[in-house]
Amino acid sequence: MINIYGKYRPAILGGLILMLVAISDQLITKAEAENSFEPVWEEIKSQSTPAQLYAFLFQLPKGGNLHTHFAGSVPMEYLLEIARDKNRNGGQEFYTRVKINNCGEDCSGRRLDYAGTSAPIVYFQTTREVTWKSLSSCCQSEYKPLSALNEEETAAWLSSVKLDRPGEGRNEFFEVIWHRMGVLFSDPHINPELLVTNMKLFGDEGLRYLEFQLPPRGWRHSDGRSIPAEEVYEILKERLKQEDAVASGVTVRFRNVAIRYLSNAEAQIEEAFAFVDSHRDLWVGVDMAGREDDDKGHPLRFLETFRKMRKRYGGIGLSIHGGEVDEPNTHVRDTLLLGATRIGHGLNLISDPDTLLYMRNREYLIESCLVSNRVLEYFPNLDDHPFPEFLRLGIPVCLNTDDRGMWDSNMTDEYFSAVKHFNLRWDEIVKMGRDSLHYAFVDNAKKAELISAYERDVASFEMKYQNANWRELTSHIEPAISPYALRTFKISN
């Protein structure tokens, strides 16, 4: 007798399994709907004080922060603390400019610190001891050791590296601030400490993944010698293995970055790809940064370069700043053509309807940075921000802190802004967190681990609030309230 089922058994079994999976999926969806957290969230949102809402959002599991420039990622108080602490900065003293004399010469030390790039003459420009020693005595007298600043000077130094006063906007940020403290962010002792500090701070806010924009170039030893990229990789890798880094529970990856308006940007892109390709355990993608209202860095300039890179390399994530400008143009579309699957900011996508429609319900993510866009005056009033259009037209978005060090903010502030301005639903909040991991460039095995941990964290967070009084629960949380929140949301601590 011919066993007719024998031949088809695998197919029949496969069919049965699929049916069972489909039925159990339906059951889960139904259960999820019945246990929906939405009513609890609606009550919290409508009845909480700013302080209660802030505490709730501080503890919220948040997934990943995908758009965070390493040098702008840490609160400046921590930078100053580490830069002054000889136990953590490799025993160095840094010098900062507290007055400007008429010395009749260039007192910036930039020839040594930045290999001759131009820098404005500014107060609180910080330099290495070796550079300071090479200056004339007239120039030397303009500087003071960072560790010797009095209280007033310390406050002024901190203010000089933040956008914390009316009238400071884009120009102060792009043209001045970075020159003030560039040497600190090229230091092999300070950077690893900043990295782990940030892992702890963001970990406290419920983040589990950080993808920093960090080019491994330009680092220098205290004697001014430049440090090869390979060594930068080793230094960071070693620091990430240490106990405090591991205990933060935060996974870190980096993207290499080219500065788009520079004349050698094409070479930087090629170098960035080559480096990522050979250090894929830590570096997972390539980005282009630099102010986009400088037309020298327009996206299509780089089309041939990215096509050349695609002939050489596969599996390197592309997240590129696009549309962070006031005027309408096609830069987001052009950036997709470069191969980006994630767009940094994407603000003027709102004025390019064809591309906006094209991106609906597809696998492209927009990295929104609400506080950054407000402080840099792209949208001084967040009510005008296109974020809700992107979110509710079905374009994947996530929230990010960009250069939070310069705006004194944190990730909770991004969520608080989004909730207050755009009345977020619970399912929107959870989807953003999930998408911040789904679109991360970390390898698939780690990503799966991060996503299932996120789902578990969200489920237990919901359960906690379903089973207890939210007013009681939030009263026990002690969130780290950022200075931005204190200034903007009228929260008192």
Catalytic residues: 324
Binding-residue pattern over the window 390 to 409 for Zn ion, x denoting contact by CB under 5 A: ------------x-------
Answer whether 129's CB lies under 8 Å from 109's CB. Answer: no
Choice between 292 and 462, CB closer to Zn ion: 292
CB closer to Zn ion, 187 vs 402: 402
Among candidate residues 286, 173, 278, the one with its CA nearest the CA of residue 228: 278
CA dihedral 348, 353, 358, 359 (to 10 degrees): 30
Judged by CB under 5 A, the number of residues near Zn ion is 1
Distance CA 36, CA 48 (A): 20
Q: Which is nearer to Zn ion, 235 or 347 (CB)?
A: 347
**b/e map 268-304, b = 16+ CB within 10 Å:** bbbbbbebbbebeeebbbbbbbbbbeeeebbbebbee
Site mask, Zn ion, residues 92-131, x = CB under 5 A? ----------------------------------------
Q: Are strands 251-259 and 207-213 parallel, antiparallel or unpaired?
A: parallel
Sheet holding 365-368, edge to edge: 63-69, 207-213, 251-259, 283-289, 317-322, 342-345, 365-368, 397-399
Shortest distance, position 373 Cβ to Zn ion, whole Å: 10
440 in Cβ contact with 211 (< 8 Å): yes
CB of 442 to Zn ion, least distance (A): 19
Q: Which is nearer to Zn ion, 235 or 411 (CB)?
A: 411
Closest listed residue to residue 362, CA positions, set 396, 334, 316:
396
Q: How far is the CB of 299 from Zn ion (least distance, A)?
A: 15
**356 and 350 in contact (C-beta within 8 Å)?**
yes
| 411 vs 430, beta carbon nearer Zn ion | 411
Report residue 274 as tokens. 């080559």
Build a one-symbol-per-residue string for 425-464: x at contacts with Zn ion by CB under 5 A, - elsewhere: ----------------------------------------
Task: Give 71 or 419: the residue with its C-beta nearer to Zn ion.
Answer: 71
> What does the longest C-alpha to C-alpha distance in the chain come to?
106
The nearest distance, CB 214 to Zn ion, in angstroms, is 12
User: CA-CA distance, 491 to 401, in Å (whole number)?
Assistant: 19
In angstroms, give the least distance from the CB of 400 to Zn ion.
8
Rounded Cα distance, 463 and 468, in Å: 9
Query: How far from 129 is each of 161, 192, 221, CA to CA, in Å?
Result: 20, 20, 11
Length of the chain: 493
Q: Which single residue is written with the structure tokens 């007013």?
A: 471
Q: Which is nearer to Zn ion, 113 or 402 (CB)?
A: 402
Minimum distance between the CB of residue 297 and Zn ion, rounded to whole angstroms?
13
- Residue number, nearest CB to Zn ion: 402
Q: Which of these, 146, 151, 114, lies nearest to 129 by C-alpha position?
A: 146
Smallest separation, CB 72 to Zn ion (Å)? 8
Beta bridge partners of 69: 213
Binding site for Zn ion (CB under 5 A): 402
